[in-house]
Amino acid sequence: MPTRDEPWPQGTPCWVDCQVDDPAAARTFYSALFGWDIQDAGAGGYLMAMLDGRPAAGIGSKPDDMRQMPSVWTTYFAAERADEIAERVTKAGGQVFMPPFDVLDVGRMFVAADQTGGAFGVWEAKRHIGAGVFNQHGAYCWNELHTPGYDQAHEFYTSVFGWNYTEIGDGVNFTYSTFSLPGDKHEVGGMMDASSLGNPPYWLTWIQVDDADGTLNKATELGAKVIMGPDDSPFGRMGILQAPQGEVLGVIDPAKAVGEVPTGA
């Protein structure tokens, strides 16, 4: 079981959570879907999803002034100093929705949008490092940006986090790149050109599962809607669902990978 006890390197997807209208209903849905042990975190009604006693994800209520906004899953990136990253975001043409602030003694954070409009969070670890478990059933395993501003997004995140990119798509039917941290070739996330889809930009969270088909069927029984898949891919058997309150996330079984990754870009 992949686990972590130290703060994540800067620029790494380190945490995911969803903001919904009814956290109690989300608690019921996700505990049944992924087997999460969801506990009260004691801060503003925030809920912590645990796997084998380690934090895997969070569930929170939308702020009062954002009740009209759709429910979402948010990807958070690790920062050594959140205030410094906030300055980089602004300088690169992004938008910081609220200046960095302390979350009790557990961390310092802010939420922002990149130059193309994709929203994300930044987390400076203190008592809470972020995810303590990953890449196993019920834990996040991948985070990717879907954006119509593919080249702009590359430039933005390089300016903010120093990411390096590797193109893996064919550049025609599938334009996609993975990103890695400065000085490290290990891929930590991805970015897809979604200009042909007509959707607003967003960061998609992928949760690893042992059975993608079974998970999607279970999600449907619990009131979710399957909006893609299940499909075979070189990355695993996968699908995308919309939970009962509207937030979108992917599920993938990497053990069921089929075919070769498109190349040629």
β-partners of residue 95 are 113
What pLDDT, on the 0 to 100 scale, is given for residue 66? 79
Q: Yes or no: say if 94 and 115 are a contact pair by the CB < 8 Å rule.
A: yes
146 has pLDDT over 60: yes
The H-assigned helical ranges of 20-130 are 23-34, 82-91
AA letter at 122: V
Q: pLDDT (tens digit, 9 = 90+) per residue, 23-45? A: 999 999 999 999 999 999 876 78
Average pLDDT over residues 51-56: 97
Please name every residue paired with 112 in a beta bridge, in sequence order, or none if there are none.
Answer: 96, 120
Residue 137 burial class via C-beta count within 10 angstroms: exposed 0-12, middle 13-18, buried 19 and up: middle
User: Which band of pLDDT confidence, cut at 50, 70 and 90, is reported for residue 117?
Assistant: very high
Could you give the angle at which helices 23-34 and 212-221 cross, rounded to 10 degrees? 140
Give dist(CA 116, CA 66) in Å, integer.
20
Q: Tell me which of 174 and 180 has the higher pLDDT.
A: 180
Alpha-carbon distance 126 to 134, whole Å?
Answer: 19
Q: Count the Cβ atoms, other than its own, within 10 Å of residue 135.
A: 14
Region 12-125: CATH code: 3.10.180.10
Q: pLDDT value at position 107?
A: 97
Judge contact between 216 and 231, C-beta under 8 A. no
Split at pLDDT 50, 70, 90, the class of 265 is very low
- Please tell me the predicted confidence (pLDDT) of residue 254: 96
The percentage of the chain sitting over the pLDDT mark of 70, rounded to a whole number, equals 98
Residue 43: the pLDDT is: 66
The residue to which tokens 């925030």 are assigned = 46
- May I ask the CATH class of domain 139-253? alpha beta
Confidence check: pLDDT of 262 > 80: no
Q: What is the DSSP string of 195-241?
A: TTTTPPPEEEEEEE-S-HHHHHHHHHHTT-EEEEEEE--TT-EEEEE
Residue, of 195 and 86, whose pLDDT is higher: 86
Q: Considering the chain, tell me which residue range(s) the CATH 3.10.180.10 domain(s) occupy.
A: 12-125, 139-253
Type and span of the H or E element at 158: helix 150-161
Which among 172, 200, 13 has a CA at the least distance from the CA of 116? 200
- pTM score, two decimals? 0.96
- Going by pLDDT thresholds of 50, 70 and 90, the confidence category of residue 65 is confident
What pLDDT digit, counting tens, does each position of 181-212 carry? 999 989 999 999 998 888 899 999 999 999 99
How many beta carbons lie within 10 A of that of residue 106, not counting itself?
17
Q: Distance (Å, rounded) from C-alpha 238 to C-alpha 77?
A: 24
